Amino acid sequence: MSTRGRSKGTQVDIDYDATHTFFEARARRDYANVLSATMYQDQNPDLVARRDQAEKDALGPRLRLRSGCKVLDIGCGLGRWGWFISDQVADAAYLGIDFSASLIEKAETQARLLDKPQLRFQVMSATAIEPALLDVAPPYDLVIVAGLLIYLNEEDCVKVLADACRLCAPGGLVYLREPVGVQERMTLDRFYSNELQQEYSAIYRTIPELERLLARATAADTFSVQDAGFLFADELEKRAETRQYFMILQRAH
């Protein structure tokens, strides 16, 4: 089922071609804060910086980064987690993949500007990951899936989560972070955003819906939830209907 506009409570599929067009256009723009390309808030670069720092401050110590670790960032956008990881662990092997060639180009440009040539980026769709072609070979000590599932329909969410878990090393972590619907599911299907000045498609699932997707993607005896909760303090959230939620999963040894 596909319909255009805004809906609540019901399952509506979104169109990936429209999402790809959206991100290609976002990547080609200039912003007061480059992270707005994927974190939005185009007119509020300070909020973008505060959210980026707050996420890394809160979650960074929980990701158990260590010397020589390997990290896969699925749907990496500009690779902002790569910046943080390379600052924390100089010899970490980080690979960011994204379906948008323009975002990957922008990520590579930012890595050069930040003097982080060790960061690797690759154009590859999250829904069609080919492990043998990844520039940093699996398995990974950390797999990041941050702000990605919101742009995927149900079965592809299950596939991406299952792939993330398969690519994770024994004892490794999967970091999942998504904006969720606080009270109910909400879908925007090619909905025009005055703030972004573009049509925008996204699915804000509830926390129980995310948990059901994970249950379908993973075996209960293989992964356990190490930590979970709402990410930001109230002053960093802008909308009452949605909030950022995170989960950290660990694979059994």
Q: Which pLDDT score, from 0 to 100, does residue 55 have?
A: 97
Nearest Cα to Cα of residue 9 among 152, 155, 181, 157 = 181
Q: Name the one residue in this structure whose structure tokens are 């749907």.
A: 75
Nearest-Å Rg of the Cα atoms of the chain is 17
Q: Which helix (H) or strand (E) holds 113?
A: helix 101-113
Q: Which residues of the chain have pLDDT under 70?
A: 1-3
Q: Which pLDDT score, from 0 to 100, does residue 3 have?
A: 53
CA gap 15, 152 in Å, rounded: 9
Q: Which pLDDT score, from 0 to 100, does residue 245 have?
A: 98
pTM given for the model: 0.96
Q: Are 82 and 94 in contact (CB under 8 A)?
A: yes
> How is the chain split into domains, by residue range?
5-251
Say which CATH topology domain 5-251 has.
Answer: Rossmann fold (3.40.50)
- Which residues, 6+ apart, have CB-to-CB distance to 83 below 8 Å? 110, 111, 114, 116, 119
CA gap 103, 36 in Å, rounded: 12
**Partners of 242 in the β-ladder:** 181
